Structure 1
Amino acid sequence: MMKKVMPLLFTFILLFSTFISGTVSIYAAESGLNTGDANDVEMLQQPLDDIDPLIENAISEQVMPGAVVLIVRDEQIVKHEAYGYAARYTDNNFTEMENPVEMQEDTIFDMASISKLFTAVAVMTLWDEGMFDLDDPVALYIPEFASNGKEDVTIKQLLTHTSGFRASTTVPVHEIEGDREDRLDFVLNETLEVPPGTRYLYSDVDFITLGVLIERLSGQRQDEYVAANITEPLQMNDTMYSPEASLKERIAATEYQSNVNRGLVWGSVHDEKAWALDGVAGHAGVFSSAEDLAVFGQMMLNEGSYQDEQILSEEAIELITTNWNGAFPGQDQGLGWELNQNWYMDDLAEQNTIGHTGYTGTSIVVSPNNKSITILLTNRVHPTRNTVSTNPTRRMVSEKTASAIDAWSAESMMSLVDRLVDREEITDVSAARSLNNHLTAIDHFESRSNSSKVIKHLEGFSPLIEFYYDNNSLSENAYETLLSDTEYLMGKWQ
């Protein structure tokens, strides 16, 4: 009897496995982002693995209670990991929950200022429809905006944070009496800090105003417009404003806000201004998961299209990714999207690398040159915003992503050397030439799979890096990056 049962059992397992794998492949085909092996997209696995202990260490030091990391290259998810807790504390004294909620790969996060990217894309879908020109005065479409000397502020200046508005409003929005419309009227009547176009000032007011522009031009509230024109076409089902109460257990908790008597903010927007605007605003309010955000990033990499859905024209993408802030060095800014920001993009930072961060502890880095998307989502304001900066963790995740790409081969390391020259982190032309000559020799032996020769030349490469660093030809970052990537490449061949 047992001999007959075993084949039947085997057949059942085989059929069940086929069904499961078929279900997974169908889902992957719909999402377009398949889970793949790092080697298949010419990335080293070791730097990606090294992210894990670094995140876990940050959690142990209470930088954040939890995190999700997602890394994509060539539309392949090469890393997707959850760490720590989505909800852990009941108050700002770090009182532990009786049943803390573990972080999951599909946990939904309050995106905070990453919401500005959805606003910018929504604005540019309206530009694609010919609804306005970027240099049009905002007051042409929102007449009351012209008050207090703002008649010359342009739509482009709002998108590039050069309008002249201060970072926030003169009076907290939640202290303004009335409903959402009353509070938006207050924002539209704000005064400028400096004349338009004279300084870069990162401002929530810019994007609250852009949210109003979307509503005036489209006739829809911003959340409805974003859903109809971005998230629904892209099947971003975990992306929304004002999540339903039923989703609470899937959402990462944020801050315990005793100052506004909200208690533990969990499932509603953290930002007080967006909260006062019914959770729907141009500067904050979007909730999303790592994989949904990766789809959004992939649409940008694909020059506005994804899975046969054209969200933006190629012309709109070109405008979004152009640096309009050449007059303000270090503040490279496209339309909504930031450009070339080393402080969180690290070695992924290039002139065409786009991204943004969010106050709640979120960040996205989209690198066209590497065809990569690097996402770090944390709930670092849980249970209080008075924690240490998340920026070192953001940089670390970007750094390890870059290492996984750059340390793949001697040839990719030559590209790294060239980028370091462009960033003036290798200041001696002869040093760059010498480093690349040595890497050319290693590349020769790699092409012949001669591991002993590759290892021998890599062993000689590290002293060369040391020599040029001692002679002030390399920045400290270039020195550390080259040494680290040499070690990673050595590990590949050992």
Structure 2
Amino acid sequence: MPSLEQSCGCGGSRELSAPRLRGDTPERAGLDPEEIRQLVREVRDLTTGSRPWAAGAVLIVGRGPYLAVEEAVGWAVRYASYDEEKDAGVELPPERQVPMTASTPFDLASLTKLFTSVAAVQQIERGTLGIDARVGAYLPDFHAAARHDVTVRQLLTHTSGLRPELPLYDCRDDAERLDRLRAEPPVGVPGTYCYSDLNLLLLQHVLERITGRTLDVLIHDGITRPLGMTSTHFGPCPGAAATEDQRRPWAKADRGMLRGVVHDENAWALGGVAGHAGLFATGRDLAVFCRALLSGGGYGPARILGPDFVELLLSAPGLGFAVDQPWFMGELAGRGAAGHTGFTGTSLVLDPVTDTFVVLLANAVHPRRRAPDSRPRASAGTRVARAVRG
């Protein structure tokens, strides 16, 4: 039986410590070993052939306190550049290629949104942020959002009506970028879903305004440090898996082959710390994040949210999290599974009903981006759903 330990950040009350992850077999975790072996084979196949889905990948599957799968395949760095004429990557000499390992950090891309959302719900729990409050109450200088009565809930559920993005990377300086955000009005019907990076950028400004702290500090102090996620932080991250030979016309900036600096052009223009992108993390750290949420907000003696607020975060339609989306969750969708994807090839899904999670991290834009393809993510979710026993 777990020992009684002091809860961190929940009013000083004593409660049972949440179990930590420990490596074990799929059988011990209540997962069918043959389905898991097939899943590992399929992920390995994603990194082989002349035109792989990704140069490399890390797969992690857990159920309850058991970390049943932790597999690294392929390459963290395989290509020096992209040859536009041949439509193929230019491979590095073998001695300069870097194998993928379980401890390789990845550019999380839009998985960053999940951490920004947790940071927001922490402020809701503390009473410093109202979920249905108007953004203008906190950011009166963001005139367009204030004039259109955009709310915090709308930012968290992508129902503000804001367009998907702005070309902030083309602005001359930070002052112009800020002016554009302040002046950007909704273009859609408020209350109608439209996925937008701008929602999380505005939420970042709200959080920084009400706390007096920058987003990187809020996420470190409120999430990653208490959970012991020592490999999760905003860049630079020199040992990360490489992403893209970023050049126009397929990209929005000419930056060359990227490794250890944020891939997203707007996050890069904003200095690498942004509400929608910029975090780097390992698969193991994300497993801890998933385990904490599945445990009602606690991990070991640490607690980042109370159970009621975790439920608020994960319940449909989800605050920051997407809920029951078969296009990337496969057969895990349909009973309250929550998760997200990232443009670089990252994803995570957690299923509260079966106490199961799957993390699939890949450098799918190495050596260059292509049309998004989430079928491998959905297939992984289906394998895990079919593996669950009882």
Given that 1:89 and 1:95 are in contact with CA atoms closer than 8 Å, whether structure 2 keeps it comes out as yes
- Give the helix-richer structure, 1 or 2: 1
The runs of 5 or more residues in structure 2 that have no matched partner are: 1-16, 84-88
The residue aligned with 2:288 is: 295
TM-fit CA distance, 1:357: 0.5
In the superposition, the TM-score normalised over structure 1's length comes to: 0.71
- Give the strand-richer structure, 1 or 2: 2
What is the distance in 1 between the residues matched to 2:257 and 2:18?
A: 36
2:387 aligned partner, one-letter code? A
TM-fit CA distance, 1:62: 1.6
1:400 aligned partner, one-letter code? R
TM-fit CA distance, 1:51: 1.6
Equivalenced residues, count: 361
1:34-433 matches, within 5 Å, as 34-59=22-47, 60=49, 61-93=51-83, 94-98=89-93, 99-147=96-144, 150-169=147-166, 172-179=167-174, 182-197=176-191, 199-244=192-237, 248=238, 250-259=239-248, 260-323=253-316, 333-386=317-370, 389-405=372-388, 408=389, 412=390
1:466-485 matches, within 5 Å, as none
What is the distance in 1 between the residues matched to 2:369 and 2:19?
A: 34
Given that 1:65 and 1:86 are in contact with CA atoms closer than 8 Å, whether structure 2 keeps it comes out as yes
1:148–1:348 CA distance, 2 compared to 1 (3 A) = closer
1:375–1:150 CA distance, 2 compared to 1 (3 A) = farther
Secondary structure of 1:69's counterpart equals strand
TM-fit CA distance, 1:279: 0.4
1:121–1:149 CA distance, 2 compared to 1 (3 A) = closer
1:284–1:31 CA distance, 2 compared to 1 (3 A) = farther
1:167 aligned partner, one-letter code? P
1:142–1:269 CA distance, 2 compared to 1 (3 A) = same
1:31-59: CA deviation from partner (whole Å, max 9, x where unpaired)? 92110111112211111111233223222
1:350–1:265 CA distance, 2 compared to 1 (3 A) = same
2:254 aligned partner, one-letter code? N
1:67-90: CA deviation from partner (whole Å, max 9, x where unpaired)? 000000111111110010011111
TM-fit CA distance, 1:182: 4.1
**Divergent runs of 4+, >6 A:** none
Secondary structure of 1:164's counterpart equals coil
Given that 1:361 and 1:390 are in contact with CA atoms closer than 8 Å, whether structure 2 keeps it comes out as no
1:64 aligned partner, one-letter code? A
1:89-118: CA deviation from partner (whole Å, max 9, x where unpaired)? 111221111211100011100111110000
Larger gyration radius, structure 1 or structure 2: 1
The residue aligned with 1:469 is: none
In the superposition, the TM-score normalised over structure 2's length comes to: 0.89
TM-fit CA distance, 1:351: 3.6
TM-fit CA distance, 1:126: 0.9
What is the distance in 2 between the residues matched to 1:129 and 1:251?
A: 35
1:52–1:322 CA distance, 2 compared to 1 (3 A) = closer
Secondary structure of 1:50's counterpart equals helix
1:235–1:289 CA distance, 2 compared to 1 (3 A) = same
What is the distance in 1 between the residues matched to 2:18 and 2:130?
A: 35
Given that 1:145 and 1:151 are in contact with CA atoms closer than 8 Å, whether structure 2 keeps it comes out as no
What is the distance in 1 between the residues matched to 2:133 and 2:61?
A: 38
The runs of 5 or more residues in structure 1 that have no matched partner are: 1-28, 324-332, 413-494
What is the distance in 2 between the residues matched to 1:142 and 1:363?
A: 32
Given that 1:344 and 1:391 are in contact with CA atoms closer than 8 Å, whether structure 2 keeps it comes out as yes
Instruction: Identify the structure with bigger relative contact order (alpha carbons < 8 Å, sequence gap 6+).
Output: 2
1:400–1:225 CA distance, 2 compared to 1 (3 A) = same
Given that 2:109 and 2:276 are in contact with CA atoms closer than 8 Å, whether structure 1 keeps it comes out as yes
The residue aligned with 1:481 is: none
